[in-house]
Structure 1
């Protein structure tokens, strides 16, 4: 898989990221941070929910311990995504390549990469992640650059109304992009469709049940992911197919050896060492 293929697959993600990053930068500048602050955060952190939450905590004067704990809970889901991607990657990845790719793991990048039929290569993943990262960083810079103009228009009620309308419209773009990512595999594989439906139902439970809704957002995602995936894997296990050139598992080889009749040396099918098989 080539670098250009990754760029092509990452372009829709980048376009969706522009709107969300734009809203993040406008919000950060509106909270009193200088325009360079959201740009720096986006350049060193590639996590939308984490950046929104972290900036809000900093603006509220939260301590370092609270900030670190919140970021850990929100972003720990990327550990599960990294484990899944590692199963799709070949063996030719060095430590520094894996470290670079770990920075680019996001919900959308994971969704696109994991449904590729071939083994993932470093050029493809770099193309995918760098394209989406440019959209995220570019959207942040754009939002920070025009935030002063928006701030001037917010001095009156009409400006506030237009601002709210703009933020609502921009927030829809990322969700629409995610729907476009999951629809094709759901249409082609009934198991994926069942997983999506089960995940939606589980997410609704975490939203409407007060005891579950009080859990941190990052923890909700982890619980939904693990439980829904485990249910689908249990009821619809994936059977591995072995080709003629692919070695059988060790247990199958042992059973095959046990089923072979021992040679007593009298048969013409025995080899010169007294074992079954003709020369």
Structure 2
């Protein structure tokens, strides 16, 4: 690893620490849910190491507990996690043109909402080692929280357990507020996303759409509108 890649990896480790701490708190509640469904610490931890999505894992626990077929489990995960396909496509545009398929694959594999947020806000072209560094500390935090939730979940009072789940929202705010303060377009998109999400939650003909599909629809509409109305000019220096 050359010095440039090493520096990006270190930057990723640094920025991944608060994500890992948030993951540790949030996945603790996931571990408690896994315990309640009769899943032990080892399989629950493996699940969190291979499936980095809170919504997907909570849905999987419910489906597994009902004894549903594997096909139903696979389809539910595909629908819930389709947004990561869009995030991967968006993030691939930040990689340099000469990035290998190996780096493109692993950069996409490690994408979560928060890792995507910090990686996409990285100025200039994205060095994949930055994403690797972020994932190297964030993903173990998610898996460790799941394991601790299974092992120690019943030892904590219910009010503390409920409070831990709030950490996820604080983590989202930590991702979107800094770039929104610097860029009025991003701030406007955040507000528009919240308003549109509220409409999808309360309007009768939209509230029945699954959470994963809502995210996909809003992402396509809002990002498409932003790309048309506020195109980003390419900087030749970023391609170096």
* Matched residue count: 232
| Aligned-pair CA distance for 1:51 | 0.7
Q: Contact 2:95–2:126 at 8 Å: present in 1 too?
A: yes
Aligned to 1:122: 128
Structure 1 residues not aligned, in runs of 5+: 151-161, 247-279
Aligned to 1:238: 232
Provide closer, same or farther for how the CA distance between residues 35 and 242 of structure 1 changes in structure 2, counting only shifts above 3 A: closer
Q: Structure 2 length normalisation: TM-score?
A: 0.90
Aligned to 1:264: none
Aligned to 1:181: 175
Residues 11-50 of structure 1: pairs in structure 2 closer than 5 A? 11-50=17-56
Bigger Rg, which one: 1
Residues 83-232 of structure 1: pairs in structure 2 closer than 5 A? 83-147=89-153, 149=155, 162-163=157-158, 165-232=159-226
Matched, 1:77 2:71: no
| Aligned-pair CA distance for 1:215 | 0.9
CA distance in 1, matches of 2:8, 2:236: 27
CA distance in 2, matches of 1:145, 1:241: 50
Structure 2 residues not aligned, in runs of 5+: 1-6
Please give the per-residue CA displacement for 1:239-268, whole angstroms capped at 9, x wherever unaligned.
44679xx9xxxxxxxxxxxxxxxxxxxxxx
CA distance in 2, matches of 1:233, 1:100: 26
Higher relative contact order (CA 8 A, sep 6+): 2
Matched, 1:57 2:63: yes
Q: Contact 2:14–2:134 at 8 Å: present in 1 too?
A: yes
CA distance in 2, matches of 1:214, 1:196: 23
Q: Structure 1 length normalisation: TM-score?
A: 0.78
Q: Contact 1:46–1:103 at 8 Å: present in 2 too?
A: no
CA distance in 1, matches of 2:233, 2:96: 21
Normalized per residue, which structure has more helix?
Answer: 2
